Amino acid sequence: MSLIRLNKYISNAGICARREADQLIRSGYISVNGEVVQRVGTKVPIDAVVTYKGVVLHAEKRRYILLNKPRGYVTTMRDPEGRKTVLTLISKKYCPERIYPVGRLDYDTTGLLLLTNDGDLARKLAHPASRVPKIYHVVLNKALAIEHLHAIQQGILLEDGLAKVDQVEMVEADPTQIGMVIHMGKNRIVRRIFNHLGYLVHKLDRVGYAHLTKQHLPRGKWIFIEDKAVRKLKSLV
């Protein structure tokens, strides 16, 4: 009989990542075939009846979605201010599983956003130590001064530490347009770098995430990521 670790079963069901699942187990929230299980590391049959607070869990199909986020959406599960969330763009008809965004894009920021119900991968990709590169197209309110370009290349000291980018360059024909590659996951890091130097970011678009691009993916549309691309994502973390 095929066995699966209980925390993995819970994670597959889209409840939370494995680490959080271990806490649920310790706290006595998980029952297997009618009996509470509190030992972390327990393995259960794949066809066991696993419940969380009395609700039967089902090991969901893993989903990996790439969305080209438009402006005017928040990347949270719900918003207390009543603003639209990116989840409203994903059709429940084609993806009934409970997915959630990996990391965040600001309300006014557009571009590539990964959504998944793979808790382990989501946690690793969003971790500050992750080396996953993100590529941004930035449009400023004025031309970027060459000394500021060099300063960004060297690193900008912000209130929460040094902000380092992997690559930054101006579009030759229009120095208000900047290309930037960065792997840091600090909150609003790109906007904060330019704000620190006295610029306003008029447009911020994430055009690349790891090896994924938004080529042939219109704004507001989404696709399932192919298995080969998912495996490549997993190899990065």
Task: Report domain 134-209's class.
Answer: alpha beta
Question: What's the pLDDT at 171?
Answer: 86
Question: Which residue has better confidence, 161 or 140?
Answer: 140
Please tell me the distance from the alpha carbon of residue 225 to that of residue 175, in angstroms, as a whole number: 34
Question: What's the pLDDT at 176?
Answer: 97
**Per-residue pLDDT band at 13 (split at 50, 70, 90):** confident
Domain topology for 3-56: 3.10.290
User: Catalytic annotation on 227?
Assistant: no
What single-letter amino acid sits at 103? G
Catalytic residue among 106, 120, 205, 227: 106
Query: 68: helix, coil or strand?
Result: strand
Q: Average pLDDT over the chain, rounded to whole?
A: 91
Show me where the domains of the chain are located.
Answer: 3-56, 64-127+214-236, 134-209
- Options 1.10.1740.10, 3.30.70.580, 3.40.718.10, 3.40.1010.20; CATH for 64-127+214-236 is 3.30.70.580
Question: What's the pLDDT at 220?
Answer: 96
Least trusted range by pLDDT, from 68-72, 124-128, 199-203:
124-128
Asked if the domains 3-56 and 134-209 are classified in one and the same CATH topology, the answer is no
Percent over 70 (pLDDT), the chain:
100
**Per-residue pLDDT band at 83 (split at 50, 70, 90):** very high
Q: What is the pLDDT of residues 15-58, one digit of tens each?
A: 888 889 999 999 999 999 999 999 999 999 888 899 998 888 87
Please tell me the distance from the alpha carbon of residue 210 to that of residue 236, in angstroms, as a whole number: 8
Whether residue 15 contacts residue 24, with contact meaning beta carbons closer than 8 Å, is answered with yes
Strand pairing partners for 110?
A: 205
pTM score of the predicted model? 0.78
Q: Look up tokens 């201010």; give the residue.
A: 81
pLDDT at 1 > cutoff 70: no
Question: Which residue has better confidence, 123 or 166?
Answer: 166
Q: Helix 18-26 to helix 119-126 angle, to the nearest 10 degrees? A: 120
